[in-house]
Chains A and B, each alone.
Chain A
Amino acid sequence: MSNILVYALHNEGAFNKNSLGAISEASRLAGELGGEAHAVVVGQGIADDLAATLGKYGATKVIKAEAPEGLAAPVIDVFGKLFEGGGYEYAVFGGGLLGFEIGAGLAARVDAGVTMEVTAVNVEGGKLVAERPILGDSSISTSRYKGKGIIIARLNAFELKESGSDAPVENVDADLSAQAQQATIVTRGEQRGADVDIEGASILIAGGRGLGKAEGFELCDDLAKAFGGNAAVAATRAVVDAGWYPYAAQIGQTGKTVAPKLYLAAGISGAIQHKVGMQASENIVAINKDANAPIFEFSDLGIVGDLNKILPKLTEAVKARKG
């Protein structure tokens, strides 16, 4: 009963980075429990040899089911059946919206405990114990499970480690439930706006609602240009949803996770959903007129002031400094 199931989210020929991190972590934990980590792939037309590569991150077996990708219900169906079959006590998800949705639904399906936003997992007395930051990350709570446990990681919580080699792939029937058949994906992963490589940038100038309007992003664009080279502009979910900036530049729970050398947050309050996407940045500078904005609690340098006054002058100073 000490094997762990891990979900591997897939899109266009590649597995999700956070899923690979979850497999690495589950492999370590399974080792301590005296069991194995088995990866589960639910998708359409995913080749066995691609699925087998999940073994490189520690999965000793890959269980693959042919079903629509991007929806929670088919994945819950597959995991539910695997739990019913016995041999599993825990499931681990690498976070992200789909991870939350699947993990929560699965907990209800198999009568398990569920913990979301998990940042660390330990083994105590032959059981998994999960740690989760609460109250705006001011405290850490520990979750212990009475029986089965579902762990949904915070984005970027688990480090991706390559350790093994290709794993055997077992194909199973998805055997979709009635509710899974009530939802159909029409389009998946549609990009809106230009493509911006924010994950590769070493300097990110990120704009939030405090910019006031879409045109406010010009201040961020100008500063990124002044830094030159490997600088790019990023955005919060609120402004992307408002149509001020393309989704490809979105940071956070529902966007990308970044760790640049410098993250300059302009007019961003620092809600937890944003924080998870950028907290690993090496140097965090925040400009916000609200002295109580949560972002100041995790900034290395915080400027309380009007970004409309500060950003243009900072751009000029950076330009002058860079020659």
Chain B
Amino acid sequence: MKIAVLVKEVPDAAVQKRIDPNSGRLDRSGEKNLNPYDTHAIEAAMQIKEGGAVPVEEIVAVTMGPDSAVRALHKAVSLGADRSVHLSDEALAGSDVAATGYALAQVLKRENPDLVLLGQQSDDGECYTIGAVVAEHLGQPSLTQVIKLDIAGTELTCERQAEYGYDTVKVSLPAVISVGDAINEPRYPSLKAIMGAKKKPLENISAADAGVDAGKVGAEGSNVKCGDFKAPAAKSAGTIIEDEDTDDTVAKIVAWLDERKLLA
């Protein structure tokens, strides 16, 4: 079987907040990274391949994004993908989540994998949605927040967390599965894998190559127009105590609780 893993380059939240001790300024080096949830999707693909329950011929990492997104593909390949596909085109800039899902689905139609895996969410905010959009365009079932995945023949048994507890769902392939971070512990890439990542096949394709209808993507082709950004209603800043003397800290907490009649 063939597995495609959708990956995304996202701002690295941890690095963004770091202050460079030398310059005293925000450290912006390496501020983009492979979406952490996607590393779990790659690991899930690797575990299927290594598990031996079904033969896996190939794992392909697919992304859509600007030139810099190549780094996310290199990371994906260093974690085990055999090759990668980069959909990049000016026409795609400004696509909303539905248009992005549509464009990615066109690439996947070209690849025709048996299973598509992706992280359940991206760190930069497109919550839980891209897998469902992609699946709909492919005419395949979709499950999100999957935390356990077993494969036998062409059937997946998935456990996922949902509103009322854990669900167990059987899904027949082909399917699109978004995984949660509890599904596995992603491996660290070896130095050899990192060094070799740039040598593995990487295909750059345009929107036209992928058969994307330019009228359905980009800011113009998207069905949602976002804008009018405004600040949320101000919430007064809370009190912060640095714990230096724990007895004193605890006394302050108790006084604070007392003031609000929470110890009554």
A residues touching B (Cβ–Cβ < 8 Å)? Answer: 9, 11-12, 16, 70-73, 76, 96-98, 100-109, 111-117, 133-135, 137-149, 177-180, 182-192, 203, 237-238, 241-242, 247, 253-254, 261-262, 283-285, 291-292, 296, 298-306, 309-310, 313-314, 317-318, 321-322
Contact = CB atoms under 8 A, between A and B. Distances in A.
B88 interface: no
B201 interface: no
Which of B97, B143, B224 has the most CB atoms of chain A within a 10 A radius of its CB? B224
A16 B164 CA distance: 10
A302 B231 contact: no
Contact of B228 (A141, A241, A313): A141
A310 B227 contact: no
B127 A116 contact: yes
B250 to A, nearest CB: 5
Interface string B235-247: 1001111110011
B98 A108 contact: yes
Nearest to B225: A144
Contacts of B181: 238, 241
Which of B163, B180, B238 has the most CB atoms of chain A within a 10 A radius of its CB? B163
B183 to A, nearest CB: 9
B163 A16 contact: yes
Interface in B8-62: 17
B228 A101 contact: no
B144 interface: yes
B168 A146 contact: no
Contacts of A133: 232
A104 B175 CA distance: 16
17 contacts: A12-B164, A96-B163, A101-B142, A101-B143, A108-B137, A113-B96, A140-B231, A140-B232, A141-B226, A142-B230, A144-B224, A180-B141, A184-B169, A186-B167, A296-B240, A304-B243, A322-B263
Given A183-B141, A301-B256, A107 B163 contact: no
Nearest to B263: A321
A186 B224 contact: no
B191 interface: no
Interface string B200-221: 0000000000000000000000
A189 B164 contact: yes
A101 to B, nearest CB: 5
Contacts of A135: 125
